[in-house]
Structure 1
Amino acid sequence: MKSLAAASIAAMALATPAHAAEPPGWPAFRAMFQEMVETDSSYASGDCTVLVNKTAARMKAAGFPAENLHIFVPEGAPRAGNLVAVLPGKDPKAKAVLMLGHIDVVNAFRQDWTRDPYVLVEENGEFYGRGVSDMKAQDAIYADNMVRYHAEGLKPRRTIKMALTCGEEPSPFVNGAAWLAQHPRELIDAGIAVTEGGGGDLDDQGKKLAVTVMAAEKATTNFTLEVTGPGGHSSKPRPENPITILSEALVKLGALPFPTEFNAFSRAYFEAVAPQVDAETGAAMRKVLVDPTDAAATAIVNRSMSRRAMVRTTCIPTLIEGGHASNAQPQRVRATVNCRLLPGQSVTAVQSAMEKAVADPRVKFSAPPPPTIPRPEISPLTPQIMDPIRAVAAKVYPGVPVTPMQETFGTDSTRLIAVGIPTFGFSALFRGDDAGNIHGLNEHVSVQSVMEGREFLYRLIKAYADQK
């Protein structure tokens, strides 16, 4: 079996187009990236523990000390393994630098994809596969960094750590970041931690618009909408059908216009990007900064999925279930509506807005109770965080502005911030408006973006590790 696997990998390598400007160490990095993508770590059919064992084995084979690799599998969760790697620093009093990444992925169904989601495909300058953008490219860069630093004999002032964790995506997997924050806490303790979020924005022609650093993120809440009825034989239709009622409610929610709202970070992003985009879009971005209610300008800004989502709360139906037989009127139908709330917005206010838009007492709304512990904000983007990013960006992406931004999703950063580890989001990967269609079909990220992001994060983590 090992021989067959080796032959298969060799054949795929021969079939992969070569790049004229492959950076040093690229084949070893690509092999690590490929193994991560091709090891299914979704909850439905995969296993995080298998993946962390493979990654640890690959790092050991590359010379990384086995005693500095630690695998943790939470009790009662055999598929939810996590890997922590440590590169000791010279100053025991200096707080460490931590690279945090989740290795679990959203489920993917082969019948819907153009390519097998669990095979890394390189095609027309793009990598395709589940997790290539969210976030196994970044995970592979982290592991590759640790191997490279050790091979170079790097002795940084601060200890460098890596935590690859399971359970960030919604699933019954145990959340590894939260688990590590409570169990071997000292092993991941750090003075600065970087995770997913931000990176860089590309326009439709591939122009780099800005290097982006996640300074704020949205909170996630799932609302359940339910309609019930007495049911009955389908040959004798009742005037009120729960499926029809719920469908009408969802159409109304689709038209619900949550207002444009800026905070300091989304405002900074708009100010930085407006001069980089086309004249019409740039003018519209400047107008909404002055008047967020300008309908014409908002319509132009909203052509971008990312910018539209950045400056408002969003709610969309993501799951629907109902009925009990093809020849029976439905007795119960439910929909899950996933909302991404701007920082500081209350669940109660969002539910009230949705109920007002639906205006139908037959549709029952419910939401999970608010957390007993307030959700922590992203750590402040201090000069200690931003200065190294600006310095590396000036060398890797000269002329491209660096800006904080409001991310459209949530990350595991809050798990670490809650226990006192300053954490922010920066992937160093440039992506287009669809962000590589994360969580969707044919997820992708450009090969060039991964090459450049690998170099950026390699330099950035070294810079953090040598900070005083």
Structure 2
Amino acid sequence: MAETDDATAPRPASHGGAWERVDDEVVRFTRDLIRIDTSNRGGGDCWERPAAEYVAARLAEAGLEPAVLEAAPGRTNVVARVAGSDPSAPALLVHGHLDVVPAEPDEWRVAPFSGEVREGMVWGRGAIDMKNADAMVLALVRSWMRAGVRPTRDVVLAFTADEEDSAAYGADWLVREHADLFEGCSEAIGESGAHTFHTRSATGAPVRIYPVGAGERGTAWLRLSARGTAGHGSKVNDDNAVAALAATVARIGQHRWPVRLTPVTRAALAELGRAVGVAADPEAPGFDVERDLPELLERLGPAAELVRSTLCNSAAPTVLDAGGKINVIPATASAGIDGRVLPGTEAEFEATMDALTGTRVEWTYAHRSIPLAAPVDSPTFAAMRAALRAHDPGAHVVPVCLSGGTDAKQFAALGITGYGFSPLLLPESLDYGALFHGVDERVPIEALRFGVRVLDHFLRSVA
């Protein structure tokens, strides 16, 4: 069976000739953007300008007036506004980033920046994260402009730089230097949500879940440092910075963080239970997290993976840096820790890091961003659910907290509530999670066409 075959899944509805150009453009734009190498290697090493110029040109062709904004040479962002029919309605921000993580060509079946079409899919770095979504937005807005369609709310489009690093040249800079461009925006949609997650019910029936991002763990990237007495490696040295740091890193890596069920995760557990047909009510009297949660997760089956990484805080050792010669004990040693923090647990996270590092090792924030939570009972969330169900009547739409972070964190500084909503209809044989930052990243053409239709439905119906 081909990867795009799934007998139980719906197909995007045919809307005749009005959609033919959109269907062609969303594929072409995805391929074109993938071919523009915008690999972000961190530390300022990225060049988004060609992709930004491409996006701006496509918007200008449609009659919009995009602002092309550079935080530094080559670190380019694009912002445009589509006027809505109701000037009194709050605006909606639709954001997507133009940079991608690097790819090692030798590991791929196709050249990662080729945009090749194979097996009914577009292949290449950014096919999932997230040039596909950028292309969907471009194709949809251009179709609106051709047909004279106006959404109810103003729709502000932001195509950003530097999301794959710290957002310092992208959303963070836009929020600080060009906040006026987002005037009136109360809510936003962005990446990491509304893709098909396939599982089975308690009776074995196929179930399609669409997780929508309604929260994010905060980012807490830490730098650990230890100081000691330098000396010869052959001498006894009880003040060894490397040894002190290594012991601390091991404690952090072995620490088991306590479960903290946020409101979004509680809602997710209840919705997942309904989707797969098992009782799941973490609000029930007598529900004990330590006693009852492990059994509940087991009964949810594969669907539990949608919440497992956001049940608690985390701190993963990722970088070690010490010394330069085997027979020399260095005076300093450092490490990097990728910490992720649930809403409402920032103080607990810091206290835990103080305890784990003790007095021998110091820690500081190398980069920090706030955790987020969005209401799951809002009209906007209801409109996202309705749009997905309109194009997949069997969809189970579930709010989730994202384990990582997006540009929604930066836009939150302007009071904008963010959701992860980049709809894709995926076959059961395609592992969406493995494609993020992974090898052989690819997106089915049918998924792109489905996504454009769902976005159209949502953006034209949300009030």
- TM bin, normalised by shorter chain, reads 0.7 to 0.9
Greater mean deviation of Cα atoms: 109-118 or 310-319: 109-118
Matched, 1:68 2:96: no
Structure 2 equivalent of residue 57 of structure 1: 57
Per-residue deviation, 1:385: 0.4
Structure 1 equivalent of residue 17 of structure 2: none
Greater mean deviation of Cα atoms: 160-169 or 442-451: 442-451
Matched, 1:42 2:42: no
Structure 2 equivalent of residue 12 of structure 1: none
**8 Å CA contact 1:165, 1:177 repeated in 2:** no
Partner deviation per Cα, 1:395-426 (whole Å, 9 max, x = no partner)? 21212222322221222223333324443322
**8 Å CA contact 2:38, 2:51 repeated in 1:** yes
Per-residue deviation, 1:254: 2.5
- SS, match of residue 439 in structure 1: coil
Partner deviation per Cα, 1:296-329 (whole Å, 9 max, x = no partner)? 5388479865422121111111222222235534
Structure 1 equivalent of residue 155 of structure 2: 160
- SS, match of residue 133 in structure 2: helix
Partner deviation per Cα, 1:324-362 (whole Å, 9 max, x = no partner)? 23553444322111111010112x42243245456x654
Distance in 1, Cα, partners of 2:227 & 2:167: 28
Q: 2:141 aligns with which of 131, 142, 146?
A: 146
Partner deviation per Cα, 1:198-220 (whole Å, 9 max, x = no partner)? 21451368955422332221111
Structure 1 equivalent of residue 449 of structure 2: 451
- SS, match of residue 271 in structure 2: helix
Distance in 1, Cα, partners of 2:218 & 2:37: 27
Matched, 1:349 2:344: no
**8 Å CA contact 2:222, 2:367 repeated in 1:** no
- SS, match of residue 163 in structure 1: strand
CA gap 1:235/1:115 in 2 versus in 1, 3 angstroms: farther
CA gap 1:399/1:79 in 2 versus in 1, 3 angstroms: same
Structure 2 equivalent of residue 10 of structure 1: none
CA gap 1:84/1:367 in 2 versus in 1, 3 angstroms: closer
Higher strand share: 2
Per-residue deviation, 1:127: 4.5
CA gap 1:215/1:68 in 2 versus in 1, 3 angstroms: same
- SS, match of residue 353 in structure 1: helix
**8 Å CA contact 1:181, 1:416 repeated in 2:** no
- SS, match of residue 136 in structure 2: helix
Greater mean deviation of Cα atoms: 306-315 or 140-149: 306-315
**8 Å CA contact 1:39, 1:118 repeated in 2:** yes
Matched, 1:423 2:418: yes
Structure 2 equivalent of residue 413 of structure 1: 408
**TM-score of the superposed pair, with normalisation by structure 1:** 0.79
Distance in 2, Cα, partners of 1:362 & 1:441: 40
Greater mean deviation of Cα atoms: 380-389 or 310-319: 380-389
Q: 1:400 aligns with which of 391, 395, 398?
A: 395
**8 Å CA contact 1:200, 1:208 repeated in 2:** no
**8 Å CA contact 1:120, 1:127 repeated in 2:** yes
- SS, match of residue 199 in structure 1: coil
Structure 2 equivalent of residue 83 of structure 1: 78
- SS, match of residue 457 in structure 2: helix
Per-residue deviation, 1:99: 1.1
Structure 1 equivalent of residue 271 of structure 2: 272
- SS, match of residue 41 in structure 1: coil
Structure 1 equivalent of residue 218 of structure 2: 219
**8 Å CA contact 1:209, 1:401 repeated in 2:** yes
Per-residue deviation, 1:33: 0.8
Q: Percent identity?
A: 24
Structure 1 equivalent of residue 98 of structure 2: 103
Partner deviation per Cα, 1:174-209 (whole Å, 9 max, x = no partner)? 233542564261465434422223214513689554
After TM superposition, the structure 1 = structure 2 runs for residues 201-350 of structure 1, keeping only pairs within 5 Å, are 201-203=196-198, 208-234=207-233, 242-277=241-276, 290-294=287-291, 296-297=294-295, 300=298, 306-346=306-346, 348-350=347-349
**8 Å CA contact 1:86, 1:161 repeated in 2:** yes
Letter in 1 for 2:163: E
**8 Å CA contact 1:223, 1:338 repeated in 2:** yes
Distance in 2, Cα, partners of 1:317 & 1:454: 39
**8 Å CA contact 1:40, 1:46 repeated in 2:** no
Distance in 2, Cα, partners of 1:47 & 1:370: 23
Letter in 2 for 1:83: V
**8 Å CA contact 2:166, 2:367 repeated in 1:** no
Q: 2:128 aligns with which of 130, 133, 139?
A: 133
- Structure 1 gaps of 5+ residues are 1-16
Per-residue deviation, 1:427: 1.7
Letter in 2 for 1:73: E
CA gap 1:26/1:177 in 2 versus in 1, 3 angstroms: farther
Greater mean deviation of Cα atoms: 82-91 or 196-205: 196-205
- SS, match of residue 290 in structure 2: coil
Per-residue deviation, 1:117: 3.4
